[in-house]
Amino acid sequence: MLRYAMVATLGLAFAVTSAVTGNAEGKSDVAPTGALRVAVAVGPAASAFWTTRDPSTGKPRGVTVELAKAAADKLHVPLLLVEYQSSDEIAAASGKDVWDLSFMPADVKREQFVDQGPAYVAYMSGYLVRAGSDIRSVADVDRAGMRVGCIEGTSTSRTVERSLKQAKLTKFVKPEEAAELIGKGELDALAMGMGALEDLSRKLPGTRVLDQVIQSTGVVVVVPKGKAAAKAWAAHFLDEAKADGTVRSALDGNGFTSDKVAP
């Protein structure tokens, strides 16, 4: 029994080493189908996490897409983007063998589905308020009669749900629907990541992003639960991407020049 345990341990150690060094065995651990399947969340506004659709191609574009391309290049395999509407959707699909790698805000709830690696950027959430609103602070949001929206399946949604006592909260499965309603003035405030809110504010005249942060976490690289070799490769890849400027380039190339790369 002890011999078998030692063999299993040595086998796992070899798989992890192979994955990190990127040899043939490592590729099969990280991208078992021969392509790197990277899950991305697609929404109406861009951030260091959210992707949007390229108007000319209809395909996702954004920071996580650029990191996905770099990861596939590192492995010398094709890239396949797998689209979802939220981080929770991505995490829930982790056991279905439909994606190999993803990026999402760190969240304790998702640890039962995914193994989290290092962060590449800080992720702060706040509120966008409708045009003409008298809301000036986060405290003003939580009043009777206030209509607040958030995106279901996000860590921000859980933070907002815990904090609001008087306002009416609506969770939207489709981020585009929430964006449309606040643009029409049918929501008083919308909670999302700051980057996405700033992008939305530029698209929706009269709306404002409050200065106060309601949640702060890191956007981390993740793999499906229990894939030790893939987790080791992902962590090594992201650490290198931060050190060699890949992350900085992805942020700057998508307009997030003021976002700081995580240490």
The number of beta carbons lying within 10 Å of the beta carbon of residue 201 is: 17
Residue 20 tokens read as 């990190």
To the nearest 10°, the Cα dihedral for 44, 48, 53, 54? 130
CA dist list (Å): 100 to 32, 51, 115, 120, 262: 8, 18, 11, 18, 23
pLDDT of res. 20: 56
Angle made by CA atoms 252, 257, 262, in degrees to the nearest 5 = 90
Q: Answer whether 220's CB lies under 8 Å from 49's CB.
A: no
CA–CA distance, 210 with 127 (Å, rounded to integer): 6
Per-residue pLDDT of the chain (263 residues; tens, 9 = 90+): 545 444 443 344 444 454 555 555 568 899 999 999 999 999 999 999 999 999 999 999 999 999 999 999 999 999 999 999 999 999 999 999 999 999 999 999 999 999 999 999 999 999 999 999 999 999 999 999 999 999 999 999 999 999 999 999 999 999 999 999 999 999 999 999 999 999 999 999 999 999 999 999 999 999 999 999 999 999 999 999 999 999 999 999 999 999 999 99
Question: What SS3 class is residue 75?
Answer: helix
pLDDT of res. 103: 98
pLDDT of res. 2: 45
Contacts of 151 (CB under 8 A, 6+ apart): 43, 85, 86, 157, 171, 172, 175, 178, 192
Q: Answer whether 216's CB lies under 8 Å from 124's CB.
A: yes
pLDDT of res. 13: 42
CA–CA distance, 150 with 174 (Å, rounded to integer): 10
CA–CA distance, 176 with 145 (Å, rounded to integer): 23
Q: Is the pTM of this model over 0.75?
A: yes
pLDDT per residue as tens digits for the range 164-201: 999 999 999 999 999 999 999 999 999 999 999 999 99
Unique residue bearing structure tokens 């829930």: 92
Beta bridge partners of 222: 102, 116
Q: Answer whether 125's CB lies under 8 Å from 191's CB.
A: yes
CA–CA distance, 262 with 66 (Å, rounded to integer): 17
Question: What SS3 class is residue 46?
Answer: coil
pLDDT of res. 185: 97
